[in-house]
Structure 1
């Protein structure tokens, strides 16, 4: 039996994230400006914003929207890609006492309408192209929203290189009915931001769930939630002022918000933005900027490995790498290490836990469960208690599978205007008012490591046998031709439900669905291996990398 001496990672699990005594996320910015006013806050291609400049620009944004009628508690919707304007508007919203609303730039009219209506946003900040294609139809004449002020901007601002890999289709666009954000900021530059008292338990962001299993819900992420997990990233990974944070996750997503933007401001380090993810550009950017840390979906790292001229030299500085948001196959971790010499550390969390509730301590090798082949998602982070419970909410023994229930300072207080959903997820047990029922099924081993089996709703019942898609996917990832894999249950006249796999292939690979079925059949029990395999160019995913299983089932 292992002793605590054999498990140095227990220092992470039992430790406590230091209290910086900040009351709001803006206190991080004030401290960063005081520590490093001339240092880079944002790098965007050849553009640079120092912390002093970022402070001034966000002041001007806050003053500008306040002059337009914005009041503390109002909401600002950010419908943007990873551009500097996102950071300016996010910080400026907090300075005006507001709540930001993160909107996926892939959303279309129906989805944007739903989020604006649900949040009651009074200000919308968006790219010119998104305004033309989507937002103008939502907030214009006949649109159904509460938006009073629309600010548009362009991905071409704050840089001059216009890299064709990302800007080939970019051009400045006239936006009738909207104000230009840069013009507003310049007009109010030099004016102080409004003086608004912000409490740690005030809502900072409405972070909408991805909606992969139902309508999106606005998690009420507080300043306390943000501060706690920004510190968790900093201390868990060992980040300091010498690091450079690379944004591969979208800033509208909780991973980008906390694991990129918030932790960069907390450590007063540069945040490197790339507008939209392009794998070849990402490799070049890491090399050019000396990026040291990032966290993103495993699909990002798969894409990097598939760049034709990828080399170790390109990623030499990027030694602090984490992956979350989607299952991480052990075979992919090994392939990435062979290609680049770096280890991908697993991390686990949800929108409702403000990013991580579990993580693999940096520099530690995550174990793989011998029975299932699953890679551990780590151990609970600071001040976090995780139980594994059965259908009745009773904690199950070590090694038994059940639903993960998380309690900690990162758990949000509830969902915006959804008391029933809040009660269902967070308030089932009066004695534990902030115990989040995650909907994820997993278990804890005797050493304290946690493993995620799958989402409860994704379990496949094949003739009475239970199949977890993730276990099948991990086997499929072992096939040398498979780039990505996703498994769902589909109707079957004999079994009621059977296993179907969708795969995309590596560049230049040639394999048939029948061959992949045979590969899996040799490695899995008869009830588990996929009876059907469909080869796709791309597996449909959310921007954060989660597989859209619902869309695959509908096929």
Structure 2
């Protein structure tokens, strides 16, 4: 493997022998407690005009653990958290650990059927949810689940600004048969939570896969996984208590759980929450709070660039910018730097790798492959070995395309109650990612696409992201997605879906002609549809199955 003698900034990150780091804490709770002891008075969470210090967060989470224990919760049971990006999410996560339990993060976009599947699969006995989500979704399905205790809360709590752009039309709602979170915490304020022992291999939370390839599976994320990758974020990027974390990723997603919550608990950096993303308001808050670091999907950064108040001064302090969860077109990285003056560093991982397995070192710029136009996702992070394997499972040499197989301390223990799926995806503890890519001669990794997304047009193999990268170069295109659709002659052909920038105008024929000039004849889209929005998961991944169904 290459040693980066001529690249000092890569010297620690050799793809074959990555630098080692040792977990500093036995579990994620100990990580938090060390920060409480070190900086009790500093802000742990900022939520509009609300503030919660680390000492206050410690007290609130003690009360939460004592409260659910009094309601019959026992160590090892699961607490499902069904909220948006609000402080109550963090309170419930840490409080669950203090009660010896496993936190289950629930996508707030779930409807009744999806929530039922997740509660049934996890066997959760406690549900913490927003009042609005209880009324609209949870109340109807709870009687048939294992949930014994339902705790509701309002997104309006812990702040007073009630921003119209975010909270317009939201009111506090009475939820009969449930416990109000803050009444419960007040009753148990000052109580001592039960004494529990959490080991590094105990499950910290069940993180459900996004379901882009089938029914969601609960990845068993251990305390070792959480501690290791919190330290990875800290040491790789150079984060500390002087940073301010801008919470743009959904907290239920692995990026938000580790890249926002866990890194704040480890370093003592304040976590800025905004309920849910409003691009213009996010820019205002980032400026007011002096945000220095964030990580989120590229769709969020595209939205910020297209906000009406997108000015360089809004993100002047945001010097540590990372993006993962979806492919990043090089043209978007260039456009963001033009708009705000900062380079977006690529980061790559999956739910099953507890966020990053690869990243671009901070201060470095990822190379772009000249043949495919793909932007490198970086090099493997600490203690991580990644192989590129062929169909026969043998390692492939640099430059050849195969499946990424990842081994390291961030790889999860398996899928909850799914031994067959665990054995198939994690034989010997190494994750077969389902992502296809290659490593170049210098150790940089590139993701081509998901194995299942490859398009076979008359025997020619086409990767959607190659076509998408060209679409993103069109000045009118805001977002793009490509899928294969049935074709009588070719078997399968390329169809594109795009959304346009504000005030931009272009016809499908014009955009197809643009692509035709820039790629081989078998690659350019034969059909193109303009949508208001490209359907995506909350974490920013394109829902290709939904596009195919059109």
Which TM-score band (shorter chain)?
A: over 0.9
Q: Deviations over 1:43-70 (max 9, x none)?
A: 0000000000000000000000000000
Instruction: Describe how 1:59-138 pairs up with structure 2 within 5 A.
Output: 59-138=62-141
Residue by residue, what CA displacement relative to the aligned partner does 1:53-95 show, whole Å, maximum 9, x if unpaired? 0000000000000000000000000001000000000000000
Matches within 5 A, 1:39-50: 39-50=42-53
Matches for 1:294-309 after TM superposition, within 5 Å = 294-309=294-309
SS in 2 for 1:185: helix
Are residues 1:440 and 2:443 paired?
Answer: no
* Partner of residue 512 from structure 1, selected from 477, 493, 507: 507
Taking the aligned partners of 2:539 and 2:89, their CA distance within structure 1 comes to 17
Shift in Å, 1:2 = 8.3
d(CA) in 2 for partners of 1:317 and 1:17?
Answer: 30
Displacement, 1:11?
1.1
Hey, what's the Cα distance between the residues in 1 that align with 2:313 and 2:103? 39
Mapped partners of 1:325, 1:283: distance in 2 = 21
Cα distance in structure 1, aligned partners of 2:179 and 2:155: 16
* TM-score in terms of structure 1 length: 0.98
1:413 Cα deviation (Å)? 1.1
**Matches of 1:83 and 1:190, distance apart in 2:** 23
Q: Are positions 1:52 and 2:31 aligned together?
A: no
- For the residue of structure 2 that corresponds to 1:184, the secondary structure is helix
Displacement of 1:15 after TM fit? 4.9
Counterpart in 1 of 2:325?
A: 325
Query: What does residue 21 of structure 1 align with?
Result: 24
Kindly report structure 1 stretches of 4+ aligned residues shifted beyond 6 Å.
Answer: none
8 A contact 1:43–1:271 mirrored in 2: yes
Indicate yes or no: 2:451 matched with 1:467. Answer: no
Aligned to 1:402: 402
Alignment deviations for residues 264-303 of structure 1 (CA, whole Å, 9 cap, x no partner): 1100110000000110011001100001000000000000
Q: How does 1:442-457 map to 2 (within 5 A)?
A: 442-457=437-452
Question: Paired residue for 2:543, among 516, 541, 548?
Answer: 548
Q: CA deviation at 1:3?
A: 6.4
Q: Is the 8 A contact 1:17 1:235 kept in 2?
A: no
| Mapping 1:321-470, distance limit 5 Å | 321-427=321-427, 433-470=428-465
Residue 372 of structure 2 contacts residue 466 of structure 2 at CA under 8 Å; is this kept in 1? yes
Question: Kindly tell me: are residues 339 and 399 of structure 1, through their superposed partners in 2, closer, same or farther at Cα, counting changes over 3 Å?
Answer: same
Gaps of 5+ in 1: 428-432
Cα distance between partner residues in 1 of 2:410 and 2:128: 27
Deviates further, 21-30 or 201-210: 21-30
Whether contact under 8 Å (1:472, 1:529) holds in the other structure is yes
Separation (CA, whole Å) in 1 of partners of 2:452 and 2:12 = 35
- After superposition, the C-alpha distances for 1:321-342 in whole angstroms (9 at most, x for unaligned) are 0000000000000000011000
Give 1:430's aligned residue. none
Please say if residues 202 and 222 of structure 1, whose CA atoms lie closer than 8 Å, have aligned partners that are also in contact: yes
Pairing of 1:480-491 with structure 2 (within 5 A): 480-491=475-486
3-state SS in 2 of match to 1:91: helix
Shift of 1:193: 1.2
Structure 2: gaps of 5 or more residues: none
Map of 2:149 onto structure 1: 149
Kept in 2, the 8 Å contact 1:12–1:236? The answer is: no
- Deviation track 1:412-464 (CA, whole Å, cap 9, x = no partner) reads 0100000110011001xxxxx11100000000000000000000010111111
1:533 corresponds in structure 2 to 528
TM-score, length of structure 2 as denominator length: 0.98
Give the secondary-structure state (helix, strand or coil) at the position aligned to 1:4: coil
SS of residue in 1 equivalent to 2:225: helix
Q: Is the 8 A contact 1:71 1:98 kept in 2?
A: yes
Q: 3-state SS of the aligned residue for 2:45? A: strand
- Displacement, 1:17? 5.1
Counterpart of 1:12 in structure 2 is 13
Deviations 1:7-63 (A, max 9, x none): 221313445454353111001111111110000000000000000000000000000
Q: 1:311 to 1:468 in 2, by over 3 A?
A: same
- Asked whether the equivalents of residues 440 and 452 of structure 1 are also in contact (C-alpha less than 8 Å), the reply is yes
Structure 1 residues 176-211: Cα deviation after superposition (integer angstroms, max 9, x where no partner): 111101111111000011100110100010000000
Q: Could you tell me how far apart the structure 1 residues matched to 2:169 and 2:381 are?
A: 42
Shift of 1:241: 1.1
CA distance in 1, matches of 2:477, 2:197: 53
CA distance in 2, matches of 1:42, 1:309: 25
Instruction: Report how far residue 4 of structure 1 moved.
Output: 2.5
| 8 Å Cα contact 2:23/2:224 also seen in 1 | no
